[in-house]
């Protein structure tokens, strides 16, 4: 399950960064970094709380 989440997250990150670089996401660089960091932290916390 972790491999699926990691693949999904990386794919989503690539899509998000591409959209931002093309000007399709109206946010600053700092906002993009903050939102991306939040997503990775939440996923890490979720994975840390699950028995492996």
What's the pLDDT at 5? 80
HSE on the CB side for 17, CA within 13 Å?
A: 9
- Burial of 43: CB neighbours in 10 Å, binned 0-12, 13-18, 19+: middle
pLDDT digits (tens, 9 = 90+) for 1-44: 667 888 888 899 999 999 999 999 999 999 999 999 999 898 88
What's the pLDDT at 51? 66
Q: Is the pLDDT of residue 52 over 60?
A: no
What's the pLDDT at 13? 94
Tracing tokens 């970094």 back to the chain, one arrives at 33
Between 50 and 22, name the one with better pLDDT: 22
Q: Judge whether 25 and 32 are in contact, CB under 8 Å.
A: yes
């Amino acid at each position: 399950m972790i491999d699926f989440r990691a693949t999904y997250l990386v794919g989503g990150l690539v899509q998000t960064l591409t959209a931002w670089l093309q000007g399709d996401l109206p946010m600053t660089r700092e906002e993009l970094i903050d939102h991306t960091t939040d997503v990775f932290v939440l996923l890490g916390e979720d994975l840390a709380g699950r028995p492996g």
